[in-house]
Each structure stands twice: as C-alpha cells, then as structure tokens.
A and B are shown apart, each in its own frame.
Chain A
Amino acid sequence: MSLHPLQILLLEKIPPRLRHLLLPVFEAAGDRVQEIRICQDKPILVQTAAGELYVSPAGPTDRLEEAVIADAGTVKELLDAVTSSSVYALQDAMKEGYVPLPGGHRVGLCGEARTEGGRVAGFRHVTGFNIRLNRDLSGVARPVLRRLVRPDGGIWSTLVVSPPGAGKTTLLRDLIRTLSRGAPEYGLKPQRVGVADERGELAGAFRGVAQNDLGPRADVIDRCPKRFALAMLVRTMSPDVVVTDEIGHPEDAEAALDAVTAGVALVCSAHGATLADVKRRPSLRPLLEHEVFQRVVVLSKREGPGTVERVVPCGGAA
C-alpha cells in the first residue's frame, strides 16, 4: 500500500530505528493510523480506526509479548528528532504539552513537568509521546453542509459537539476549506474565513506556514489566544465567517460573541457527547444564552470517528 504524503513527512522526521519499525504498520494500516504512543519502558502502541495494535520487529501485531518496548535511548532519540534538537525554541508549544511537526502532525508529551508560579513552564524530563497524525480528509463536511448553508449563500453560525477523538477538528478543517472555496452545488458562496487556530490543529502550521490546505480565502492566526485572534481577525481581515476550535474559557466565548455581533458567522467546536453536556458548561453560556448558534452538529465514534449523529437547528433563525 502506498503511503500518504503526510505519513511520509512524519516518517522522515522520526529516528531511523523507529521508522523501520513503523513503516510496516503504515503499509498495513494505511490512512487508518490515528495515533502512535511511545512511552519509556512500555510497548509501542498504534491506534487505528479499527483498534489498537502493538509494534513488533516483524510488523504490527496484537500480541503483547511480541511488542517492542521503548527504551530510554528510543525516547531520547525521538525527543531529539521531533524537536530538531531545539527544545529551547519550542517552549511555548511544550508548555501546552505538545510539539508541532511538519505536515500538521503533533506530538503530545508526558513526563516530569516543570512549574513556575503555579503554571506549567515546560518539561524537566520527557518520557512519553503520543504522535497524533494529521489526517487531512477532504469531503467529510459534505454530509452536513446542506443543513448549514443559509438561503443567502452564507453559513449559519454552527457549534460542532463531540467527545475527544470523534472528528471535530477534521470536520472543522474540511468546513473551512469548503467555505473558503465555496460549494455551488449546495448553494454556498465562497466565504472569507478567519481562522483563530490557538492550538495549531486546524491549519497544522509549522513555523508559521499552514500545512493543511484551507482553501484560497482562509486567513489564519496561529498559536494566539482565541480572544485576541478573533478580535484581530474581525478588525483587520473582514471575514464572513470566523472559525475556532474548542471554546474553553468565558473570555473566548465573549470574544466569539463580539465577532457575531459584528455581523460575522461563527463556527466553533466544544467537547461533549450531547448538546445537554455542552449546555452545562459555563464557558459556553454567553454564546448559548444569546442564541448565537443556529445549527449544532453532534458527532460520535459510533461508526468510527466522524459519525454524524444529529444536525440540530436551534436559536432564532432555525
């Protein structure tokens, strides 16, 4: 099976020893590979859409006794490789618990954190990695798009709700691309899209350059707190729509509300299994009380990540 270019970028970035171990896994599982977990003194695990696999010298296996155990040397080599031997230059991202990679992949970190003044200031020792693969899937927004397009060719303000790992970010990314290009078959006109990508997952930017195709009209502010990025986008880029992931703080919600009152549609996501879960979250209260969202898309993993459970019309314009 030929590898996806994004998978090739990842394999080029990791140390040769791991590359030789993981290549057969990618060849066997293809683009179903979602995560690779490498923790010191533990077996190397690969999460695919079909379930978990161990990595053995002979390829993927479901037998724990055949699994390769990551030793301290492997962990050090991997840290060296994913940080380009420049941990000091990646402190901002590492404070958030991850390292960005070319191709929009990201590496979650575990180990001994270092705090200063009650805040995480970095890692003293990194002993575990979760490599989350960027799967830039095109077309996943199509099944919901018809329900999100307004009669005037714009888009309703939309909240995407799902538990972790159920495809929120992938859906948002494809929505951005589709909005930016327009989809005449759904009556959607091309939109100027402002993307507040605080965690760098939507654009998958690496050193400021978006690694994911977000279409021709997407303006991205990367690694900037949402409350600032949303205000800057509305003020300077005259967007038709602003998109952001995981509204988690009341300040973010206030900034999103400001954007909507400026006449811009809002598309964002929130963790939760149901709409009721989301309604209980104080951070989203300002947006829900003001009936900002006209559509809520609920995702689950019932039939694999990205299963659309419901598209719920809500708010005044429903």
Chain B
Amino acid sequence: MRGSGVKLLGALLVIGGAAALGHLEAVRREKRARELAAVITALELLESHVVYGQVLLADALRRVGEAQPGAGWAFLRAAERLEEGWPASRALRESFSAWAARSALLESDLAPLVHLAPVLGLSEGGDQARHLRWARSQLEVKLAGARQRLPEVARLCKALGVCGGLILALLLY
C-alpha cells in the first residue's frame, strides 16, 4: 500500500516537472518575441537620436536605455562603458553579450547587433541610418519567425510537457 503511494507521488512529480518544463519553454518563446520587439523599438529610438537629434552616442544610448525597459539594460550598460572610455564596438559587444545571458534571446538573434557594433557612431548620419535600418530589418525577420503561430506553439509546448510527463510516468510505473 505504502509502495504504491510512493509510486503515485513519484509519477505526479514526473508529470508536474515535465509540465513545468513545457510551460517554461512556452514562456521563453513568448519572452523572446517580446524582447526582439523591444530591441527593434530601441533601435528605432536610437536612429532618431543619432540621425535627427545628432546626440553623442553615449547620451543617445542612455536615452534609449532609460526609455526602454528590458532591452534598455543593454543600452544603459553600453552608455556606461562608453563614458568609461571604451571603444564603441567593444562597449556594445560586451553589453549585448551580457544582456543575452539574462534574456530569452538566442545567440543568432544577437548577430545583427554584433554586426552593428563596429560601425555604430563611426560614420555620418545617412550611413548610420542605413546600418541601423539593416539591423532592424534583420531583427524584424527573426521577430516574424518567433511570432509565427506563437499561441499554438506555446500551447503545444505546454501540452507536450504534460503528455511527455504522463508517458514517462507510465513507463516508470
């Protein structure tokens, strides 16, 4: 009697754990889409400060960081590094890498930002606008992919978690 009770508890734990994993994956996918959208908005803001406002890069990054929660963390960090005298490319790369570690973005999502780092700030306004728009367009493609059937995929992750847990529990039982 006690043995079957323990088995049942174990099965419930397996099912619960697998369901939680499925739920976490669904949340991560939703968060990734939100973060990609936030970076795109941040780059739009940055373009307006750089191209139209002619604001120095450190100030522009700070303004973007303050206006944009979430993705803003990376921009604020880059502004701080620039003010400490880091070259822009190093400051941006380091800040985006640090942010990636705490965000839901994939490494490949950062590629447009890594390409942007060595050229940001180092040419005239028109050229900067072209680089920023290119990075944005790349991120928009990724966002479109991430949003594609996102509700269904999220539901599927959750369902797979529960079903996977059930199957595993049955196999172990």
Contacts and interface: CB of A to CB of B under 8 A. Distances in A.
Size range of the chain B interface in the assembly: 20 to 34
A89 B87 contact: no
Interface string A103-139: 0000000000010000001100000000000000000
Interface string A259-292: 0000000000000000000000000000000000
Interface in A63-112: 76-77, 79-81, 83-89, 91
Contacts of B89: 80
A15 interface: yes
B51 A88 contact: yes
B67 interface: no
Contacts, number: 57
Interface of A (DSSP majority class): helix
A80 B87 CA distance: 6
Interface residues of A, number: 19
Contacts of B121: 80, 83-88
Given A80-B87, A80-B122, A83-B121, A88 B58 contact: no
A89 B122 contact: no
A105 B57 CA distance: 21
A85 B123 CA distance: 9
A88 B87 contact: no
Contacts of B123: 87-88
A80 B85 CA distance: 10
Interface string B74-94: 000000001001011100000
Contacts of A76: 122
Contact of A84 (B50, B58, B125): B58
A259 to B, nearest CB: 32
In order of increasing CB-CB distance, the 10 nearest A-B pairs are A85-B121, A85-B88, A88-B125, A86-B56, A85-B57, A89-B54, A86-B57, A80-B87, A122-B124, A88-B128
14 contacts: A12-B85, A76-B122, A79-B122, A80-B121, A80-B122, A85-B58, A85-B87, A85-B120, A87-B121, A88-B50, A88-B54, A89-B50, A89-B55, A91-B124
Interface of A: 12, 15-16, 76-77, 79-81, 83-89, 91, 114, 121-122
Given A79-B122, A86-B58, 12 more contacts: A16-B85, A77-B87, A80-B87, A80-B121, A83-B121, A84-B56, A85-B120, A86-B55, A87-B121, A87-B122, A88-B123, A88-B125
